[in-house]
Structure 1
Amino acid sequence: MPRNLRVEFPGAIYHVTIRGNDRRDIFGDDHDRERFLRRLAESVEAYGIRLYLFCLMTNHGHFVLETPGTNLSRFMQSLETGYTVYHNLRHGASGHLFQGRYKAKLVEGDEYLLKLSRYVHLNPVHIARWKKDPLAQRLAYLRKYPWSSYRSYIGEEKKLTYVTYGPVLAETGAKKRRRQREYRQYVEEGLATTDAEFVEVLKRSPAAIGGEEFLAWVRDMCIEMGEKAAKPEDVSFRREVLFVSKDKVLEVVCKHLGIRPSELRERRRNSLLRPIAARMLVKYAGLTHRQVADTLGMKSGVSASLQARRAMALKADAKPAKLIAAIEVALDGQTAENRPA
């Protein structure tokens, strides 16, 4: 069966869902969930994704995210493959963990984004187990549920470094200092009543969530892609991805590190050079870990992946974090220069 066409462009917002194969559990225990969230954080960082919110259930998960680099497929492949390898090794399993391809719907901004965020965050208390329980019990469970971004949205726990909160909170229309409170009230009002109109919006299209004009635009794009494509199931409607060239990334990295490019191919114990270079090549040049390994003279893509993760860990240390931030500012500037007028 051919895959649904997927419209992709820089800055697209998606509602992504994953499910266990044959509706089996994805997470066996809290250790699995913690490992998945670590992988999620790594992939968000590596692929420059803006993750707005998420909710993990036992056999499925929801994510609302933006893709500035038009790279949803690569991001999801990294997330799912990395977790599947871990899961199968830990549980002595084999084969597919997830049910086919992940589902991704384009989301129109404004009220649809806000309503979708409420729908996702209320998932834990909208299952059959909780539907008949008193409102107070459901509310208490929602506020304590640790496997979604909701608690950090309403100030019950520290904000997560890999979640971008601003766009959803801004949709409340409240002043900045009141947004958490307004958002909490908005979401929790949905415990008492179901937003039947939004539920119908979710059913209108397999490709998008939004108003009639937005759905019509997405439908037209899908038709256009289908007519032009030799392989319709693999088609995307893409604008040019705003990556920086590999050579420019290396030039900026070397300038800030005060080294020659040849030094990046030298193996040095506990050095910051390769981890930082690996991270920037993935994030700003769009290279795969295998390509990073070839560029930096490493043995394998696994080695490059480990180095890129080291750079993420370095951000907890003030001095390397300042250096990494300076490099990112410079490369963000290069990306802006590539943006069409």
Structure 2
Amino acid sequence: MCRGNERREIFRNDHDRMAFLRFLAQSREIYTVNIHAYVLMADHFHLLVETPLGNLSEFMRRFNITYTGYFNRRHKRVGHLYQGRYKSLLVEKNAYLSMVSRYIHLNPVRIKSLEDVSVPKKIEQLRAYPWSSLPGYLETDKRQSMITYALVLAEFGGETHQGRDSYRKQIHSDIAEDLDVQSLVFGQSILGSENFIDKITKEHPGTGQEREQPAVRHINQYRNQGVILAEIEKETGRNLDDLKREKGDLRRVAMDLLYRHGGLKGPAIGELFGLDYSAVSQERKRLRVKLGADSEICRLVDNLEERLSTLKI
């Protein structure tokens, strides 16, 4: 969640909201992030995102800088748009993903001016609100390509008419019962079962503190790099020195796996292979084109991903 500086508006019109969603979709693509839900309010926004690469900071930094730059240019202003750093919660996916999605979607009717409004009226107001991912959960013709609906709807019967109807009914029930999530949050940073909280706090001692620990992240990336390169060598007989010398598809596969599974960014991968980070991006694009036409490369990538899926990485 990000709030406007001094609680000022971060959207002045629908043009701003459309730009925000455009930048959100671009950042999602760049950082391989799954977006499960969002809502845009006048002075803040909520996102429910899944980061398979553990790159939330990078995703949010790029996204917020891009939108702030747009907003300042369009409205001829300078300075901070947001009130400090974004706030984030770590959510146990299997237990709380659906609840958090619904809590986010209820924001438009959780405002002071609607406190005394009847439940049917709140339902009507919510269904009419266009600036959230909720419409796509309820109606197929309002789905957005950047939203991942399946995981949330799986709890309600899947991406079917029945699943969407069950989600709608649960939203209506949540309005009547005034769904609360904040009271369930542990240490202002984790939402999950006792086992999940215990596991996270033991494996990641910094979780629950104000700041992330970049040193821990870098150590994990270095470990992941070694695991991925070792698996490539087992599968192909080529080590890192070979990959540096030999241009071609195998080196592209290595770069792509280091990015998607290892959490390394373009500059780090470029340094590893003696390339500019922009060349890394181009090589990964060439691999994606090749995957659509070369069954041998597809089998290699599938084999390596199956190897990596059995490892703790």
For the aligned pair, the TM-score class normalised by the smaller chain equals 0.7 to 0.9
Q: CA separation of 1:233/1:71 partners in 2, compared to 1, >3 Å: closer, same or farther?
A: closer
What code does the residue aligned with 1:40 have?
L
SS in 2 for 1:53: strand
2:292 corresponds to 1:326: yes
2:197 corresponds to 1:215: yes
Structure 2 segments unaligned to the other structure (5+ residues): 230-239
Structure 1 segments unaligned to the other structure (5+ residues): 1-16, 256-276, 299-303, 312-321
Q: CA separation of 1:102/1:295 partners in 2, compared to 1, >3 Å: closer, same or farther?
A: closer
SS in 2 for 1:104: coil
The answer (yes or no) to whether the contact 2:266–2:278 under 8 Å persists in 1 is no
What code does the residue aligned with 1:96 have?
H
Q: 2:171 pairs with 187, 190, 200, which one? A: 187
The answer (yes or no) to whether the contact 2:201–2:207 under 8 Å persists in 1 is no
2:15 corresponds to 1:31: yes
CA distance in 2, matches of 1:34, 1:324: 34
2:121 corresponds to 1:124: no
Hey, what does 2:5 align to over in structure 1?
21
Hey, what does 2:79 align to over in structure 1?
95
Q: 1:286 pairs with 265, 271, 274, which one? A: 265
CA distance in 2, matches of 1:95, 1:208: 31
The answer (yes or no) to whether the contact 2:35–2:148 under 8 Å persists in 1 is yes
Q: CA separation of 1:338/1:57 partners in 2, compared to 1, >3 Å: closer, same or farther?
A: same
The answer (yes or no) to whether the contact 1:51–1:162 under 8 Å persists in 2 is yes
Hey, what does 1:264 align to over in structure 2?
none
CA distance in 2, matches of 1:332, 1:102: 36
What code does the residue aligned with 2:276 have?
D
Q: How does 1:147-226 map to 2 (within 5 A)?
A: 147-155=131-139, 157-173=141-157, 176-196=160-180, 198-202=181-185, 204-223=186-205
SS in 2 for 1:37: helix
Q: CA separation of 1:68/1:86 partners in 2, compared to 1, >3 Å: closer, same or farther?
A: same
The CA RMSD over aligned residues, in Å, is 4.0
Q: CA separation of 1:325/1:84 partners in 2, compared to 1, >3 Å: closer, same or farther?
A: farther
2:248 corresponds to 1:251: yes
CA distance in 1, matches of 2:94, 2:196: 12
Higher relative contact order (Cα pairs below 8 Å, separated by 6+ residues):
1
The answer (yes or no) to whether the contact 1:21–1:96 under 8 Å persists in 2 is yes
The answer (yes or no) to whether the contact 1:205–1:215 under 8 Å persists in 2 is no
What code does the residue aligned with 1:294 have?
D
**Percent pairwise identity:** 32
Give TM-score, length-normalised by structure 2.
Answer: 0.73
Give TM-score, length-normalised by structure 1.
Answer: 0.68
1:180-234 C-alpha deviation (Å, 9 max, x unpaired): 11111111211112235x44213x32110012222233333453789xxxx9754
Give the structure with the larger helix fraction: 2
CA distance in 2, matches of 1:225, 1:160: 32
The answer (yes or no) to whether the contact 2:37–2:147 under 8 Å persists in 1 is yes
Q: CA separation of 1:244/1:219 partners in 2, compared to 1, >3 Å: closer, same or farther?
A: closer
SS in 1 for 2:85: coil
Worse overlay, 42-51 or 209-218: 209-218
Q: CA deviation at 1:338?
A: 4.1
SS in 1 for 2:146: coil
Q: CA separation of 1:112/1:166 partners in 2, compared to 1, >3 Å: closer, same or farther?
A: same
